[in-house]
Amino acid sequence: MLLFLDSTDSAEIATLAETGLVDGVTTNPSLIAKSKRPMRDVLKEICAAVSGPISAEAVASDSPTLIAEGRVLREIAPNIVVKLPLTMEGLKACRALTADGVQTNVTLCFSAVQALMAAKAGATFISPFIGRLDDAGQDGMALIREIRAVYDNYGFTTKILAASIRHVGHVKDSALAGADCATTPPAIFRALYQNALTDAGLAAFNKDWASTGQSIL
């Protein structure tokens, strides 16, 4: 499973990228607004820190402008993926940009039939928002399983990018359900390798090792 960071904090992204475990980054207009910085500057820094796919969102409501915005975003760096809304205009733009060789991420997916339409439009990634479904009293993880079944039925190559992740359990369940990728806030990414039993076991090992008075180096 590919692990992406959902963030525009370029400094934190660069730090976490040093682990070698960050496969890409996703951004959105809300995160750009939170950064209080020019979008182009933020994206350039992120693309310099992470060589994998970096999703940057087009914001227009009509397909011609979405396509134009997508082409401008794509010029920032070769690893930019153009993020598009799951609307008719967004799907039209997805099809056109895909035909031009631009990678796309169709976002705000809340149903398997929406995901089917995105795959037919040639989307590189589909972003089902599992946390928002859970917030609305629905089963976000069921959507991942449904999309996986649909894509496998017809051989679609669109990658399932689990988004709107609220906790570590969402990452585990997405992996079990067959998602290709998951995008998480940095805090959740850091929590993926943490466990109280690991900490306790390591403390015990270190105490016993210290008692031997030995050194490996």
Segments making up each domain of the chain, as ranges: 2-212
Q: What is the pTM of this model?
A: 0.96
- Fold category of 2-212 in CATH: TIM Barrel (3.20.20)
Q: In b/e form, how buried is each residue of 175-196, taking b as 16+ CB within 10 angstroms?
A: eebebbbbbbbbebbeeeeeee
pLDDT per residue as tens, the chain (217 positions): 999 999 999 999 999 999 999 999 999 999 999 999 999 999 999 999 999 999 999 999 999 999 999 999 999 999 999 999 999 999 999 999 999 999 999 999 999 999 999 999 999 999 999 999 999 999 999 999 999 999 999 999 999 999 999 999 999 999 999 999 999 999 999 999 999 999 999 999 999 999 999 999 9
34, 36, 44, 83: which is the annotated catalytic residue? Answer: 83
Phi, psi (deg, nearest 5) at residue 159: -85, 135
83 catalytic per annotation:
yes
